[in-house]
Amino acid sequence: MKDFRLDWGKTISNFESKKIIAEKVSRMALSGQIIGAGSGSTSFLTVLALGKRVEDEAIDITIVPTSIEIEFACNAMNLKSTRQIPNTIDWCFDGTDEIDQNMRLIKGRGGAMHKEKLVFQSAKKRYVMADASKNVKSLGENFPVPVEVDFKSIEKTYRLISEIKHVKQVALRRAVNKDGPIITENSCGILDVTMNHINNELESKLLTLPGVLATGLFLGFDFERI
């Protein structure tokens, strides 16, 4: 029987190019390192490649997974992992939904942007795995900005976000294989915010609203693109 923890659940787009990136990133791992693992299909493939290296070369690494599905993959590949976020992570890898000309990112299509951002903040070096399909001239061109919100205040927060300048639409993210909304690993909901224009002040404005835990805007981070 196939291990369900190694089943991504759907066809991985651009599989061959993502697999090449995953192999390249996995070769960066050195024994003794703590490595943050982002979410998404490229990160998933990278975890599989890291597991193969640990099995073949007996390197000793610790993974900090940013989502349940990546933690599942770590466990299935017998990778040592921790749910706690250390003060310092040697390096991290992650994908992105969009990347603009100023190296600003939108992440969170998988709903794990809160822990992804915590890992980004703790990592001494960051690698963002993004092929040309992720390029946009203006951030928000292809995807809304996800905002993780406590359900206890979500109606009020929905209204307040709707009143922000340049907001075009706010939508509660619905689940696919369950009734009702997406429920994040923090027991919150996600509001997807479509914008006509995204400036650098938007994230701080969103974070002042009641119940907002995190946004999918990744601004001002230094990283190397792979």
Cα 114 to Cα 14: distance, rounded to the nearest angstrom: 26
The reported pLDDT for the residue numbered 1 is 60
Q: In degrees rounded to 5, what are phi and psi of residue 190?
A: -125, 125
Exposure letters 123-158 (e unless 16+ CB within 10 A, then b): beebbbbbeeebebeebbeebbbbbbbeeeebeebb
Which residue among 116, 148, 155, 163 is the active-site one? 116
pLDDT band at 188 (very low <50, low <70, confident <90, very high): very high
Cα 70 to Cα 43: distance, rounded to the nearest angstrom: 8
Q: Point out which residues pair with 94 in neighbouring strands.
A: 128
- For residue 69, pLDDT over 70 is answered with yes
Catalytic residue at 116?
yes
Is residue 173 within 8 Å of 181, Cβ to Cβ?
yes
In 3D, which of 145, 161, 152 has the Cα closest to residue 208? 161
Express each pLDDT in 3-33 by its tens digit.
Answer: 877 887 788 888 888 999 999 999 999 999 9
- For residue 74, pLDDT over 70 is answered with yes
Cα 149 to Cα 135: distance, rounded to the nearest angstrom: 27
The reported pLDDT for the residue numbered 8 is 79
pLDDT band at 171 (very low <50, low <70, confident <90, very high): very high
Looking at per-residue pLDDT, the higher value among 1 and 128 belongs to 128
Is residue 8 within 8 Å of 41, Cβ to Cβ?
yes
Domains of the chain by range and CATH?
Answer: 4-135 (3.40.50.1360), 145-216 (3.30.70.260)
Express each pLDDT in 114-170 by its tens digit.
Answer: 999 999 999 999 999 988 889 999 999 999 999 999 999 999 999 999 999 999 999
Span 48-71, mean pLDDT? 95
Quote the tokens at residue 22.
């995953």
In 3D, which of 210, 217, 205, 219 has the Cα closest to residue 188? 210
Q: What share of the chain is helix, strand, coil (3-state, %, to 5)?
A: 30, 25, 45
The reported pLDDT for the residue numbered 211 is 94
Span 32-49, mean pLDDT? 95
Express each pLDDT in 198-224 by its tens digit.
Answer: 999 999 999 999 999 999 999 999 999
The reported pLDDT for the residue numbered 197 is 93
The reported pLDDT for the residue numbered 176 is 87
Give the count of beta carbons closer than 10 Å to the beta carbon of residue 101: 10
- For residue 178, pLDDT over 90 is answered with no
Residue 107 makes CB contacts below 8 A (sequence gap 6+) with 94, 95, 96, 97, 113, 116, 146, 216, 218
Is residue 149 within 8 Å of 189, Cβ to Cβ?
yes
